Homo-oligomer: A and B are copies of this chain.
């Protein structure tokens, strides 16, 4: 693991997600650019001292020199955005598969370059867009792709949060500090942090690709350096249109990402707050309440649950699904086996490039006088 030192949020989530299924073991780490902090964290995690490293460069170098049966199988990178590209590139070039937190890179140029590295090295790459790990999100995608709703006409996706409603970055809060700092986050704040999640979710479930957008991007809290709120009109490659909004200043909201997709005959609705439920809607008959853990779901949904219906799984399990599927693919590669189609269903390098293109387009559109901006991939 690279990153995830003391005080980090997403590092701990990655570790839990990797632990849950007993398929992945943490064997080494460079948890902080401060060697002492890295050591502290590593010991807390019961790692042997010799595999706690003071920098990611050291870790990748030293691990790559270990015998095949001892060295790490892949690396998880959970640092802020400006520290995604370099370690990911180095890891792949040294033969390691990579799990990387989103958004993929600092900017679109890096993303395109990383895609080339991935293609050249052939390493397995997973980008942790958590929400597509939920079984009912996978079910939603399968149902939409099946064509049962007819042509998709409209999508709505929203991601309201409250946590940046005040000038939190002025209070020495680590999470807020780097996320609102353009030298660490990149050109986008809320749009990069959560807007990309919403964007990825829309494209994943609908199977469509956004082609144009029109954005209203705001910095609501005084003194903040990046956007904390935005709304985006979308156009898709099949002629459908959509609305995406993401905000971090909606007082009282937690983390309630929600999506609705409508076709000619019906559609779906899913929200994280009731993550084990997928509403399936029809023009002329009752709404159906599809539930995780039941026997009537697609193999994609069934594969990504651990418990029977009525034993709610949540965010950590959704995250773990990406890890487990990634690990199954890594194992298959090691065993020279063909991975199952359900295992391959995790976000990858292409999602990362599209996410960065979304960020660029949305920020550009936010400043533009013309209505529509193209998404360039």
A residues touching B (Cβ–Cβ < 8 Å)?
9, 12-13, 15-16, 19-22, 26, 45-46, 149, 153-154, 156, 158, 160-163, 165-166, 214, 216, 218, 220, 229, 231, 233, 235, 241, 243, 245, 247, 249-256, 260, 262-267, 272-275, 280-291, 293-296, 306-317, 368-372
Q: How far is the CA of A290 from the CA of B284 in the complex (A)?
A: 11
The minimal Cβ–Cβ distance linking A140 to chain B, given in whole angstroms, is 13
Q: Are A241 and B218 interface neighbours, CB within 8 A?
A: yes
The minimal Cβ–Cβ distance linking A350 to chain B, given in whole angstroms, is 26
Q: How far is the CA of A163 from the CA of B283 in the complex (A)?
A: 8
Q: Are A275 and B370 interface neighbours, CB within 8 A?
A: no
Copy total for this chain: 4
The minimal Cβ–Cβ distance linking A259 to chain B, given in whole angstroms, is 13
Residues of B within 8 A of A311 (CB): 255, 314-316
Q: How far is the CA of A255 from the CA of B216 in the complex (A)?
A: 27
Residues of B within 8 A of A307 (CB): 13, 315-316
Q: How far is the CA of A312 from the CA of B130 in the complex (A)?
A: 12
Residues of B within 8 A of A9 (CB): 308
Q: Are B281 and A249 interface neighbours, CB within 8 A?
A: no
Residues of B within 8 A of A263 (CB): 251
Residues of B within 8 A of A262 (CB): 247, 249-253
Q: How far is the CA of A250 from the CA of B242 in the complex (A)?
A: 12
Residues of B within 8 A of A214 (CB): 214, 216, 233, 371
A233-B249 contact in complex given A293-B254, A308-B255, C-beta closer than 8 Å: no
Q: Are A286 and B288 interface neighbours, CB within 8 A?
A: yes
Residues of B within 8 A of A160 (CB): 260
Q: Are A272 and B317 interface neighbours, CB within 8 A?
A: no
Residues of B within 8 A of A249 (CB): 153-154, 262
Q: Are A281 and B310 interface neighbours, CB within 8 A?
A: no
Residues of B within 8 A of A368 (CB): 371
Across the two chains, which residue of chain B brings its CB closest to A278? Answer: B286
Q: Are A251 and B283 interface neighbours, CB within 8 A?
A: yes
Contact of A22 among B19, B231, B233 (CB under 8 A): B19
Q: Are A296 and B285 interface neighbours, CB within 8 A?
A: yes
Residues of B within 8 A of A306 (CB): 12-13, 16, 316
Contact of A233 among B158, B231, B288, B313 (CB under 8 A): B231
Identify 7 new A-B residue pairs, CB closer than 8 A, beyond the known A311-B315, A368-B371.
A19-B22, A233-B233, A251-B265, A255-B311, A274-B274, A280-B286, A312-B312
Residue of A15, A255, A291 ringed by the most chain B CB atoms within 10 A: A255
Q: How far is the CA of A162 from the CA of B163 in the complex (A)?
A: 35
The minimal Cβ–Cβ distance linking A340 to chain B, given in whole angstroms, is 18
Residues of B within 8 A of A308 (CB): 9, 163, 254-255
Q: Are B310 and A254 interface neighbours, CB within 8 A?
A: yes
Across the two chains, which residue of chain B brings its CB closest to A161? Answer: B310
Residues of B within 8 A of A156 (CB): 158, 245
Across the two chains, which residue of chain B brings its CB closest to A312? Answer: B314
Q: How far is the CA of A198 from the CA of B236 in the complex (A)?
A: 25
